[in-house]
Amino acid sequence: MSERKIILEVRNIAKEFPGVRALGGVDLSVLGGEVHALVGENGAGKSTLIKILAGVYQKDSGEILFEGELIELHSAHDSLRRGIKVVFQELALIKGLSVAENVFLESFPLRRNRTIDWKTMIASTREILDSIGLDLDPMEQVGRLTVSQQQMVEIARALSHEAKVVIMDEPTSALTPNEISLLFDVIRKLKGMGIGILYVSHKLEEVFELCDRATVFRDGLRISTRAIAETDQKEIVTDMVGREITTLFPRTHTGRGEKVLDVRGLSTAEKLKGVSLEVHSGEVVGVFGLLGAGRTELAKAIFGLDGVTSGAITVRGARLRPGSTTHSAHAGLGLLTEDRKGEGLVLQMSVGQNMTLPSLREFSTAGYIRRGAESMRAQSFVQQLSIKTPSLKHKVEYLSGGNQQKVLLARWLMKKLSVIILDEPTRGIDVGAKVEIHRLIDELAKGGLAVIVMTSEMPELLGVSDRILVMSNGRITGEIGRAEATQEKILAAAIA
Amino acid sequence: MAVNTAGGGKLGMGSRIILFNEVILVSVLLFICVLISVGSPKFFSSTNVLNVLRDSSMDVIAAIGMTMLLITGEVDLSIGSLVAFVGVITMDVINKTHSVALGVLAGLGLGLLTGFINGVVRTKLKVNSLIGTIAMMMVLRGGVYIYRVAAVQNYHSLDAFFQIGNGYVGFLPIPILIMAVLYVAFLFLVTRTVVGRRLYASGGNATAARISGINVDRLKIATFMTASLLAAVAGVILVSRMNSGQPNSGQGFEISVVAGVILGGTGLGGGEGTLIGTLIGVFILKVINNGIILLGWNQDLQIVIAGAVLIVAVYLDNKRKAARARIITT
Amino acid sequence: MKKRLAITLTVLTLVLFATTLGFAQGRVPKKVGWVGNYMMHEWYQTVQKGMKARAAQLGIQLEVADANLDMARQVSMAEDLIAKGVDVLIISPVQQEGAEAIVKKAQAEGIPLVIEASPVKGMTTIVAICDYDCGFKGGVETGKYVKAKLGGKARILAVDLPALRPCILRVDGFYDGIRTVIPDAVMVHRIDGQGLKDKALQVATDALTKDSNINVIYGCNDDSALGALQAYKSAGLDTKKVVVCGTGSEGVAFIKAMQEGGPYKVEAAMFPEAVGYECINMAVKLFNNEKVPEHWVTPTFALTSENWNKYYSLSGDVRTINWDAVNKIPREPKCAKY
């Protein structure tokens, strides 16, 4: 490979927020034509660095060098003008405008009379899209595009500004496998153009597939920078977590007991079409499906958050009243929603209060909450699950994603449940916390619960499930046992 | 075990300051009181203190219910009209039955009914409570005039009726006593009981509350009924103090109550707010009004200053929340 | 031939003469319309009673509409009534500027228009009391009482409604009136009760804390006076040492207060029934193209606990006006102050 030049370099960047040291003096360099991965647990400092490079945050100290020259990035405009383009997870596009307008936002080609030169703009847009092999209509409204296509528009925007460095923040979380391939192709084309790419991701399989080097951050510091060819996932994970992780998917539970949950012909007005399934005590049923297959709808319908048009749900023989969450909760159902902040946590309440919310009766006499008993119980779970929080009284919104998820799990562990439905339990959570959650799922099953895990991560699905159900278009299209399960079989059922 | 937080930093100290919202409010209240007493020595006289407390009692009682409603993310703007209707009905029933007990029960009953309807409109008809209670406000105000266009005078001058608003227990005016009892009871309810916890959960995240087995709809209906019942209590105190049921009374009551609650730190979004803050917030506004008269200032300043105080308070509160939000790193 | 002509002519002349005589007797309009501005208020309910009574007496069909404080609605209601064929229109303007549209419309259609209460530019005539004189009379009567029974020194708490000019005039009038009897009368407090009893109670309480040495309470309407009286009682002050004067005579509240034998002794009455009565009279006059003064003043009088029953009788909750007595009350040709 020819000698690559350093395009972007940061030295000793530090950044502090009130009470938190986000970055403690980190170095990083991105070469032209390389894909450089940036990995680390939640809270490691990755997004802080990205935001500094995007001009959104101001560094407290340190230097930024672009093509060897010392620069200051005072605003997002500065950053883009310099040639650094950041593609955030929440895409920064104007949905009401067309592709061409978004690509040339802030730098429209103008005619002599200062009006927009549409012809040139459309032609240039088409040129850029062609260069990365995309077939999009420059006049299409961005709001109508899929997430994948919108991402491409962001990349095209980078090219229109002749970006030399493109930073991508968790780009694949909302993409289908096909779309991920497409993205990788485009990234490789950018590589070919000599553009340096900084690729921030949790997904180590992708990192190992796509990237040339990987830098690991932990607790605001740079731990290592390795060439991908010279390392393996285990080493990277150890760098990220600071300790060796032996098994990603611990399993100690065995055998299944009696049938606990029985769902017959469940349909909802919009999505579900006659779903039937059963779960036994002590078993973990994994549910897989692509975006829009209906997994979350199924979880909510079983629990009673959404209304059903037909079907029966029975828990330990007792018929559940559809659409009544109180009834479900009393029958021993628990639900960990996909959207923890929007639907799971009460952000204004403390860690302890969130944990005990369904179990208040246990700690109260005639309505009066016995705070001592409540704290003791909550504290025991904090220890059991290694939840990182300064105290039980801490507002739960300040915790990292992984710890928030643990709080929610503690909530259900505290109750005597019969069935628990976990919807994307490890989404957005770093490797270290992931392992602990998988261990907990194992504990839950061992304790006799019927566990349903909905997930879109194949490794996780294959790792935790005793039995796999595949959904597509609101129906169950496949049931595969652990022993026979392969990625191909699962995907085949998922697109059926 | 060693505790850590996101980013490995210490998140403890900064947030402590923020919790001192109530301390700031009390300081402001004391500051205003001292200012006024410098200009008017009568301010701290026992007469004035009791007067202000007695006048505040109606606002505080209604504000208890309003705080609880706002914690669940709802609001009730019909309490002003309700106070008028309660006054008219209570006086009318007392006139017709010679019984203070029946009259009071009728008034409180109207409160419960109104609250129930407000609750059902919100939970079953899914009408936003701002709009729904404004509609109720119009229905009640129009309704009271249809019921009785002129004020209902007191025909029997029963002593029990007089005592409610004007009587004393020792040196303590009865309205203040009623306010104190209700306040302490509800303070306990909101901070120490399961119901209180559920209020915060329902307002903070209704879905999370539902998943935890809380019947959010039933809780909200009960809260609406409590708020209207408490407003009705204020209405009964008022009719006793005015000695007649006035259909044109209570105008602007809902605004001053909501202003006091918001000044006390309860947000409009739900899931937060304290009764302690409410108490201080209501007092601050009442003291300002009292001070303006005692100092002989232009009476129109009462609303102007109240408005200014409210805007400043909300602005500072927003800044506080924004500062808090920046600490979060994901 | 000549004889027959002479007889025909005489008969014709006689017939003509007779008919003109009939006309000159004063026709009465068949239909009169009234667009009120706030019928929910007790005052206007009583005005309506007076209007209906007089219309019934004269055999006039009266149609009443309520604009409910909406100026646009008042204009369209007036237009509707004109279209329906009223002979005379009466309006109580929601807003003085907005009502000019109605004045123009009535003129264009040739319909006589009577304005009640608030003057409008371009109007023919307005039927209203003199607020200043009303307050003045109350002040004089109160002053007499203070001189006779309360030691001759007057210290006043007046509850005003500064947003409304008529109310300001009433309080000014009261103060001027009382000073004709007690020249060194002091206005200790002049507060804004917004015309409401609960607000008056609230503000008067604070005012009395500031200075409780008062012996005269005046309210620009009955609710204001009664609210301030409640505050006075609440403050534990001696009700035998104060006299209360209200304004308006809207309903039975003031009568009840006077009957109680307490400090409420004077009422600057505005006789709303008479206002309605005079509106109809004015309608008839305009219908007959009579020349009328621009301001037709309706009676105001200081009622006292001794003389009120000459003008009103009370049965249960209903009061009836004594037309004879009220119609005899002398009216000012125009107000002392506008």
Distance CA C63, CA C65 (A): 7
Closest CA to A406 of A379, A425, A380, A420: A425
**pLDDT tens-digit readout, A270-312:** 888 889 999 999 999 999 887 778 888 899 999 888 888 888 8
Distance CA B182, CA B176 (A): 10
* Interacting residues of A15 by C-beta distance below 8 A, sequence separation 6+: A22, A23, A45, A48, A52, A57, A59, A60
* Interacting residues of C112 by C-beta distance below 8 A, sequence separation 6+: C87, C88, C89, C106, C124, C283, C286, C287
* Res B4 pLDDT > 50: no
The CA–CA distances, whole Å, from C309 to A84, A93, C258, C264, C303 equal 93, 81, 11, 15, 9
Q: Which chains touch A (3 or more CB pairs under 8 A)?
A: B
The CA–CA distances, whole Å, from C315 to B88, B243, C252, C272 equal 21, 21, 10, 18
% of chain B beyond a pLDDT of 90: 71
Domain presence at residue C329: no
Domain of residue C174: give its range.
131-269
Which of the four pLDDT bands, split at 50, 70 and 90, describes residue A247?
low
Q: What is the pLDDT of residue B10?
A: 27
Q: Where are the alpha helices (DSSP H) in chain B?
A: 12-18, 21-39, 46-71, 79-97, 100-123, 129-147, 159-166, 174-192, 194-204, 206-211, 216-242, 253-263, 275-294, 301-327
Query: Cβ C198–B246 below 8 Å, yes or no?
Result: yes
Domain presence at residue B22: no
Residue to test with chain A: of B1, B126, B202, B211, most A Cβ within 10 A: B211
Distance CA A79, CA C175 (A): 75
Distance CA C56, CA A386 (A): 90
Q: How does the average pLDDT of chain B come out, rounded?
A: 88
Q: Which chains touch B (3 or more CB pairs under 8 A)?
A: A, C
* Res B269 pLDDT > 50: yes
Query: Is the confidence metric ipTM above 0.85 for this complex?
Result: no
Distance CA A367, CA B197 (A): 10
As given in the structure block, the two tokens for residue A237 are: 């994970």
Interchain CB contact of A360 with B (< 8 Å): yes
Q: Do residue C21 and residue C52 come from a single domain? A: yes
Domain presence at residue B329: no
Residue B196 CA neighbour count, 13 Å, CB half: 19
* Res C20 pLDDT > 70: no
CB atoms within 10 A of CB C256: 17
Domain of residue B74: give its range.
32-322
Which residues on neighbouring strands pair with residue C64, listed in sequence order?
C34
- The sheet carrying A310-315 orders its strands as A275-280, A259-267, A310-315, A318-319
User: Chain A: residue nearest B205 by CA?
Assistant: A346
Domain presence at residue C318: no
Mean pLDDT computed over B104-128: 96
**pLDDT tens-digit readout, A299-308:** 999 988 888 8
Distance CA A317, CA C84 (A): 75
SS3 C98: coil
Q: Do residue C61 and residue C105 come from a single domain? A: yes
CA angle centred on A235, ends A231 and A237, rounded to 5°? 130
Count structural domains, chain B: 1
Dump strand ranges (E) for A184-274: 196-200, 213-218, 221-227, 259-267
* Cα first-last separation, chain B: 23
Query: Cβ B330–A400 below 8 Å, yes or no?
Result: yes
Cα A156 to chain centroid, rounded: 24
- The answer to whether chain A touches chain C by having 3 or more C-beta pairs less than 8 angstroms apart is no
Distance CA C248, CA C135 (A): 10
Q: Do residue C261 and residue C138 come from a single domain? A: yes
Q: Do residue C158 and residue C253 come from a single domain? A: yes
Query: Cβ B153–C253 below 8 Å, yes or no?
Result: yes
Query: Cβ C196–B251 below 8 Å, yes or no?
Result: yes
Domain presence at residue C330: no
The domain spanning residue B214 has which CATH number? 1.10.3470
**Residue B114 contacts residue B266 (beta carbons within 8 Å):** no
CB contacts of B156 in chain C (<8 Å) are none
Mean pLDDT computed over B281-302: 92
Which of the four pLDDT bands, split at 50, 70 and 90, describes residue C192?
very high
How many residues are listed for chain A in this entry? 496
Mean pLDDT computed over C269-285: 92
* Interacting residues of B227 by C-beta distance below 8 A, sequence separation 6+: B62, B65, B66, B68, B69, B76, B79, B115
Domain presence at residue C235: yes
* Res A2 pLDDT > 60: no
Residue to test with chain B: of A169, A326, A365, A391, most B Cβ within 10 A: A326
Ranked by mean pLDDT, the top range of A191-205, A478-492, B36-50, B105-119 is B105-119
Domain presence at residue B21: no
The CA–CA distances, whole Å, from B290 to B9, B234, B277, C234 equal 48, 19, 20, 16
The domain spanning residue C226 has which CATH number? 3.40.50.2300
Distance CA A246, CA A244 (A): 6
**Residue A446 contacts residue A247 (beta carbons within 8 Å):** no
Interchain CB contact of B95 with C (< 8 Å): no
As given in the structure block, the two tokens for residue A162 are: 């002749």
**Residue B273 contacts residue B265 (beta carbons within 8 Å):** yes
Out of C45, C210, C256, name the one closest to residue B42 (CB).
C210
Q: Which chains touch C (3 or more CB pairs under 8 A)?
A: B
SS3 A201: coil
Q: What is the pLDDT of residue B13?
A: 32
* Res B328 pLDDT > 70: no
Interchain CB contact of C205 with B (< 8 Å): yes
Q: What is the pLDDT of residue A427?
A: 77
The CA–CA distances, whole Å, from C207 to A296, C68, C150, C211 equal 65, 34, 21, 6
Domain presence at residue B10: no
Which residues on neighbouring strands pair with residue C337, listed in sequence order?
none
Interchain CB contact of B320 with A (< 8 Å): no
Which of the four pLDDT bands, split at 50, 70 and 90, describes residue B128?
very high
Q: What is the pLDDT of residue A245?
A: 57
The CA–CA distances, whole Å, from C288 to A399, C17, C28, C79, C87 equal 87, 18, 8, 22, 11
Residue C57: Cβ-neighbour burial (10 angstroms; 0-12, 13-18, 19+): exposed
* Res B14 pLDDT > 80: no
Out of B1, B7, B194, name the one closest to residue A367 (CB).
B194
CB contacts of A364 in chain B (<8 Å) are 193-194
Q: Do residue C58 and residue C118 come from a single domain? A: yes
User: Chain B: residue nearest C202 by CA?
Assistant: B55
Interchain CB contact of B243 with C (< 8 Å): yes
User: At C160, phi and psi to the nearest 5?
Assistant: -110, 175
Out of C40, C192, C235, name the one closest to residue B149 (CB).
C40
Mean pLDDT computed over A344-365: 90
Query: Cβ A344–B200 below 8 Å, yes or no?
Result: no
Distance CA C226, CA B244 (A): 10
Residue to test with chain C: of B51, B144, B288, most C Cβ within 10 A: B51
Interchain CB contact of C42 with B (< 8 Å): yes
As given in the structure block, the two tokens for residue A28 are: 């990083």
Distance CA C188, CA C210 (A): 10
Domain presence at residue C6: no
**Residue A321 contacts residue A331 (beta carbons within 8 Å):** no
Q: Do residue C285 and residue C176 come from a single domain? A: no
CB contacts of C223 in chain B (<8 Å) are 151, 246, 248
Q: Which amino acid is at A38?
A: L
Domain presence at residue C138: yes
* Res C62 pLDDT > 90: yes
Domain presence at residue B266: yes
CB contacts of A360 in chain B (<8 Å) are 194, 197-198
CB contacts of A326 in chain B (<8 Å) are 210, 213-215
CA angle centred on A152, ends A148 and A156, rounded to 5°? 170
Q: What is the pLDDT of residue B246?
A: 92
Interchain CB contact of C226 with B (< 8 Å): yes
Residue to test with chain C: of B242, B297, B300, most C Cβ within 10 A: B242
Q: Do residue C96 and residue C157 come from a single domain? A: no
Interchain CB contact of B311 with C (< 8 Å): no
Q: Å from C129 to nearest chain B CA?
A: 22
Distance CA C267, CA C254 (A): 7
Closest CA to C218 of C160, C166, C153: C160
Count structural domains, chain C: 2
CA angle centred on C185, ends C182 and C190, rounded to 5°? 140
Distance CA B310, CA B266 (A): 12
**pLDDT tens-digit readout, A323-334:** 888 888 888 899
Closest CA to A116 of A141, A139, A144: A139
Q: Do residue C172 and residue C64 come from a single domain? A: no
Domain presence at residue C185: yes
Mean pLDDT computed over C285-304: 90
Q: Do residue C221 and residue C93 come from a single domain? A: no
The label of the residue with tokens 């010279």 reads A230
**Residues 171-200 in B contacting A (C-alpha not used; CB under 8 Å):** 192-195, 197-198, 200
SS3 B152: strand
Domain presence at residue B132: yes
* Res B290 pLDDT > 90: yes
Interchain CB contact of B14 with A (< 8 Å): yes
DSSP string computed for A317-333: TEEPPTT-HHHHHHTTE
CB contacts of A407 in chain B (<8 Å) are none
The CA–CA distances, whole Å, from C135 to C8, C145, C176, C310 equal 64, 15, 9, 20
Query: Cβ B5–A395 below 8 Å, yes or no?
Result: no
Distance CA A23, CA A319 (A): 54
Q: What is the pLDDT of residue A1?
A: 47
Closest CA to A14 of A62, A56, A65, A58: A62
Tell me how many residue pairs between chain A and chain B have CB atoms under 8 A apart: 158
Q: What is the pLDDT of residue B43?
A: 93
Domain presence at residue C84: yes
Which of the four pLDDT bands, split at 50, 70 and 90, describes residue C209?
very high
Q: Do residue C144 and residue C197 come from a single domain? A: yes
**Residue C272 contacts residue C304 (beta carbons within 8 Å):** no
Distance CA A60, CA A15 (A): 5
Q: Do residue C145 and residue C235 come from a single domain? A: yes
Cα A496 to chain centroid, rounded: 25
User: At C269, phi and psi to the nearest 5?
Assistant: -75, 145
* Model confidence, pTM: 0.78
User: At B177, phi and psi to the nearest 5?
Assistant: -65, -45
Query: Cβ C197–B249 below 8 Å, yes or no?
Result: yes
Domain presence at residue B293: yes
Which of the four pLDDT bands, split at 50, 70 and 90, describes residue B2?
very low
Residue to test with chain C: of B54, B243, B295, B298, most C Cβ within 10 A: B243
CA angle centred on A472, ends A468 and A473, rounded to 5°? 150
Out of B238, B249, B293, name the one closest to residue C207 (CB).
B293
Q: Do residue C141 and residue C122 come from a single domain? A: no
CB atoms within 10 A of CB C330: 8
Interchain CB contact of C103 with B (< 8 Å): no
